[in-house]
Amino acid sequence: MRVIADPAVSLYTKSYKQAAGVTNVGNWGVTMNQFMGQSQNENAFTNENVCEVFDKSAIPMIMINAAGRILKANDIFADMLGYTVLELEGRYTVEFTHPDDVQITQSVLQRIVHATAPLQIEKRYMHKNGKIIWGIVFGFLNGIYENEPYYVACVQDMTHFKQQEKELQSKKNHNKYLETSFHQLIENWPDGFVIIQDYRIVYSNQAALKIINAACMEQIIGRPVFDFISADRHSIAREKISKVYEGNISKGVVDHLIRLDGRSIDVEFTAIPAHDNSELTMNLLFRDVTELKRTEELMRVSDKLNAVGQLAAGIAHEIRNPLTAIKGFIKLAREKYPESPQYFDIIRTELERIELITNELLLLAKPGQSTMQVLDVRDILGQVSVLLETQGALNNVQISQSYMDEAPLLLHGDGNQLKQVFINILKNAIEAMPKGGEIQLEARMEQEEIRIDILDEGPGLTEEQLKRIGQPFYTTKATGTGLGLVVSYKIIQSHGGRIAVENRSELGARFTIHLPPAPAFLQ
């Protein structure tokens, strides 16, 4: 409850004229002035005009003595509390006061005796049915009744206003809760979320920062969205954004996004228009689908490999038998016609090449019986390095090894098959460096995987080569079959791993092989 010292009725009237639900402020002011005008008349209570104002007032009113006993109440006051006038007169105001407001009500009664100006308080009454009635009470000394002063208390029923105020506050609290919940949801959402206003980023959640490779929000807030789109796609992007601003929703659009480090990634967007006064605004949800697209591509390649493998097995078996017979007859013919050995040598060389291809086709169809055991990747790389050291030296290529951890890098696999993979990749790297250079072998644990990097200093790969590498019969070498890497991909896949190829930022290419570590119970 509030106590308000207010010497002027007009000030009170002005204060509550703006309150919702208060419709009889004018009556209040008239009533106050009439009663205060009677305060100079010692016989005010018996004055017929005063009684008429009291009884006919549209304002709930009571007359009380210094102890707070009700001498007279009008019908409106009685109705406000659910009583009759007879039920109220003779009883004390504290009997109808909310328990928490009794003490301050008594304090005001003591103060009003010596008050030179009206007192105003906000308090709670108790309705007969137990409901709380909020009221603004304006009390002042008015006259003498039966040799004791009496006081007039006028009450403005504020219950409806208080209910509206409570509902408004409840709505504010609910809206604040929704706003906080929504903000927490967006901040913890796994997908990126940004708000774009007039083609500039004005908000970003944490996931968006991570996808864009930003360390903090300040790195992207206020920047044009075109900073993250390749220049050749600016006009297309502007057209799409304009359509969203016009009210269209764009779902599931996959496009490229340029990160802060310059790397291009595949991103799936959903753009939703938002209304913010006259600003052009949209909400943008997006997720990095680079790995997903890469996985889908690997699955397509895997399907191709399986199909090629089945076809290759049939072809190889059909070729090997007549091939063996041809080789035998060529040997006999060479012995019979020794005067032209060069022709037979060419035929023999080409037959050996056909035999090599058929063997690779069979290997593609079925890499061979696996002998799975726990192996240390460092040992395998070391053995392959020694094996190819001579070939590297002949081409002025040095092979170096680097391991970030001293602990073994254990995996469960077939040593011979894995050696074949590393030999294939290393031989390709050596052949890609005709002017010599260095091949670096690196291995480490990364995000619960064994990561092996093979880095060369060759010319790197073209975009076309990066797309097609690992496809059956695709090769950049004049004498290659394109099956070596296909077999390598298949072996790594059978070990639960994957191979990624990219150009290095400086020079050359990088082959990255990811393999699962050996289960703990096998180590």
Helix, strand or coil, per DSSP, at residue 224: strand
| Choice among 30-34, 82-86, 190-194 with the minimum mean pLDDT | 30-34
In this structure, is residue 163 part of a structural domain?
A: no
pLDDT tens-place string over residues 79-109:
999 999 999 999 999 999 999 999 988 888 8
- Report whether pLDDT(272) > 80: yes
pLDDT at 363: 63
Instruction: Give the pLDDT score at 3.
Output: 47
Range with the poorest average pLDDT among 175-179, 205-209, 239-243: 175-179
Which range (10-24, 82-96, 146-160, 351-365) has the least confidence? 10-24
Of 288, 310, 341, which residue sits at a domain end?
288
pLDDT band at 403 (very low <50, low <70, confident <90, very high): confident
Q: CATH number for the domain including 354?
A: 1.10.287
Co-location of 6 and 48 in the same domain = yes
Over range 13-26, report the average pLDDT: 38
| Residues 25 and 118 occupy one common structural domain | yes
Among 149, 167, 151, smallest CA distance to 159 is for 167
Higher pLDDT, 140 or 156: 156
Q: Model pTM? A: 0.46
Note down the domain range covering 403. Answer: 372-522
CATH of the domain at 98: 3.30.450.20
Q: How many distinct structural domains can be found in the chain?
A: 4
Q: Do residues 454 and 463 lie in contact, with contact meaning Cβ atoms separated by under 8 Å?
A: no
Q: Determine the longest span between alpha carbons in the chain, in angstroms.
A: 158
The answer to the question of residue 167 being in a domain is no
Enumerate helices (H) and strands (E) in the chain, giving the number of each: 15, 18
pLDDT for residue 301: 65
- The reply to whether 166 falls in a domain is no
Average pLDDT, the chain: 79
CA-based torsion, 77, 78, 79, 85: positive or negative:
negative
pLDDT exceeds 60 at position 38: no
The answer to whether position 180 is within a domain reads no
pLDDT band at residue 368 under the 50/70/90 scheme: low
Same domain, residue pair 312 and 223: no
User: How far apart (Å, rounded) are the C-alpha atoms in residues 201 and 211?
Assistant: 15
Does the pLDDT of residue 51 top 50, yes or no?
yes
**Residue 365: pLDDT band with limits 50, 70, 90:** low
Residue 229 domain-assigned (yes or no): yes
Q: What is the pLDDT of residue 140?
A: 73
Using only C-alpha atoms, the chain has a radius of gyration, in whole angstroms, of 46
Per-residue confidence band for 131, with pLDDT thresholds at 50, 70 and 90: very high
408 and 344 share a domain?
Answer: no
The verdict on residue 168 lying in a domain is no
**One domain, residues 323 and 278:** no
pLDDT digits over 477-508, tens only?
Answer: 545 555 677 788 888 888 899 988 888 767 88
Are both 95 and 218 inside the same structural domain?
A: no
Task: Tell me, rounded to whole angstroms, the distance of Cα 301 from its chain centroid.
Answer: 33
**pLDDT score of 356:** 72
Same domain, 210 and 311: no
Query: What tokens were used for 141?
Result: 């000394």
Residues 134 and 203 in one domain: no
Co-location of 142 and 206 in the same domain: no
The pLDDT, as a whole number, for residue 72 is: 87
pLDDT band for 223, please (50, 70, 90 cuts): very high
145 plus 48 within the same structural domain = yes
The stretch 324-348 carries a mean pLDDT of 78
Residue 309 belongs to some domain of the structure: yes
End of a domain among 365, 384, 403?
A: 365
Nearest to 284 by CA among 188, 181, 227, 202: 202
Q: How many residues does the chain have?
A: 523
Are 283 and 340 in a shared domain?
Answer: no
CA 297 to chain centroid, in Å, comes to: 27
Same domain assignment for residues 387 and 360: no
* CA dist 66 → 43, 58, 104, 222, 482 (Å): 17, 25, 15, 68, 110
By C-alpha distance, which of 61, 29, 59 is closest to 45?
61
Band (pLDDT 50/70/90 cuts) for residue 129 is very high
* Residue 263 pLDDT: 87
**Residues sharing a CB contact under 8 Å with residue 388, sequence separation 6 or more, in sequence order:** 399, 423, 426, 427, 430
Residue 318 backbone zone (phi > 0: left; psi -120 to 50: alpha; other: beta)? alpha
Residue 33: per-residue pLDDT: 55
Could you write out the three-class secondary structure of 296-360? HHHHHHHHHHHHHHHHHHHHHHHHHHHHHHHHHHHHHHHHHCCCCHHHHHHHHHHHHHHHHHHHH
Please give the average per-residue pLDDT across 418-447, as a whole number: 90
What percent of the chain lies above the pLDDT cut of 70? 77
Q: What is the DSSP letter of 232?
A: G
Q: Which pLDDT belongs to residue 322?
A: 79
- 365: which 2 tokens? 């169809």
Q: What is the pLDDT of residues 308-335, one digit of tens each?
A: 666 666 676 677 777 777 878 788 877 7
Report if residue 325 sits inside a domain: yes
**What is the 3-class SS of 351-394, one letter each residue?**
HHHHHHHHHHHHHHHCCCCCCEEEEEHHHHHHHHHHHHHHHHHH
> Which one of 117, 139, 157 terminates a domain?
157
Task: Place 23 in a pLDDT band, splitting at 50, 70 and 90.
Answer: very low
Which strand (E) or helix (H) includes residue 15? helix 9-16
CATH number at residue 444: 3.30.565.10
What's residue 18's pLDDT? 36
